[in-house]
Chain A
Amino acid sequence: MESSQDPDKDLVQRTQDGDLSAFNHLVVKYRNRVLGVATRMLGDRVEAEDVAQDVFVKAYRGLRRFQGEALFSTWLYRITANSCLNQRRRRKLEAQTSLVVPGAEPNADNSGSNPHTLLEDKELKLLIERAVQELPEEQRIVLILRDVEGLTYESIAHALGLELGTVRSRLHRARMALQSRLKNVISLSA
């Protein structure tokens, strides 16, 4: 079982014993990853931060029932994914939000309209973020967890409650769709 190799096992155990400082270490360790998933899923930085904080509060309250059947990180991503999907349902947005990354706004004029100019790395990343936002949410969450967060197929399947084959097919479709959207951009950045 993968939980036997959980690097967070000790911190989780101390938190379950009532040590709030141990949980703070877990928050510090995972806050940016949880926030990253939430931001890319919701497309709103402020809203994502609220959701991310709520994810950790839920995790703390539910940690007493956490039996270690999966890695703590996988369990945390599961809470994150569910919270984001619930938040999206709550506000009834359907992949029409614009991603706002702190310190920068995407520049539409540079999104491949000038084929003779090599895209700056920062601009390229903004275009990728926007392309990710345009994916259907069930493909997007799989793509983010796999290609951005680096989770295994098995962890993704556990976090999202999906069959392994479903994860593979959704990931494939997400990658192909993203590649299709970014075809011109990628060739320019090469």
Chain B
Amino acid sequence: MTTPGDSDRTPAVPAHERLLDLVIALTQARPMMTKAQIRTQVRGYADSRPGDARSAARVQEAFDRKFDRDKETLRQLGIPLLTLTSSVHSDEVGYRIDLDDYALPRVELTAAELGVLGLAAQAWQDSTLARSARRALTKLRAITPRSAVDDAIGAVGLGAGTRGLLASDEPLGDLFAAITDRTAVRFTYHAARTGTSSVRHVEPWRLVARERGWYLVGWDRDRRARRTFRLSRIEGAISPVDGEEPFQLPETDAYEGTAEPTLLQAEVAVRSDRAPRLRAAGRPKGRVTVADGDELDVLVIEVADREAFASEIAGYGEAVVVLSPPDLRAAVLRRLAAVAALDPTGSPT
């Protein structure tokens, strides 16, 4: 068995053992443990003992770094670490873990509910958040006698399909914290519209996941307006704006896209046996002869977004021709003409 006296001869204590001993020591500390006590008494720190004077300074520095890192780890795990000042020597700082704030609220999860959380924890592809979710799951397993993943899969109807649903290598974790604490953030943003990058200061309100991407909705302090940012277009780190009161959330703020979509009715002509999905979406309305002399089937289609529909129709190429309305037809022609011009060797139309 390892005792502090053996430390010169035994290999270094692994980080998880050092952290566990630190947690136990600081939980039992009455009223607190000073840094010096931690360094000399807690296993895993005690192996860095001073030799001559110069190496003593180095050892002290190494201890400080290690201890700072460990404190940060404990805080990230939700362990309430108190920093206290001695009542006798006011310049002496000590630490203790506050057991009152330590406990997980008592929730009684059934085996199937824990199973659902087990499935959920697999949804993150990103390794940092996947690990965070798994730690949360581990903590909930501690207070739940049994789990039934099969029951959950049965009830939810999703098995392997949940894997990697939340694909993300984006800095979501930082934004989770900022949204929860209502802290403004600063980041460099590459605006797709202009192709330029600039520093933005944003009060983060909400996150929306859509089409394999995450979007931040918030108040852009530089633009003095509500803005949406695609997270993959953020360059570098997101840093909190420190030293402010928590920002105020707007009283009402409709989610982006809740406005009623503008519906327009389009008439398009489709060549025989082409564009089956478009046919399935539309209503047939006779036939028409188009400019190149072919007879096509006419469809009437309800359209929510003109520009998106114009792109879709342009994508069909010669298979689909817009008959009306004129602005939709013009939008399709713009796309086709631009692509036709990409080939300088092509014959003129």
Chains A and B bind each other: no
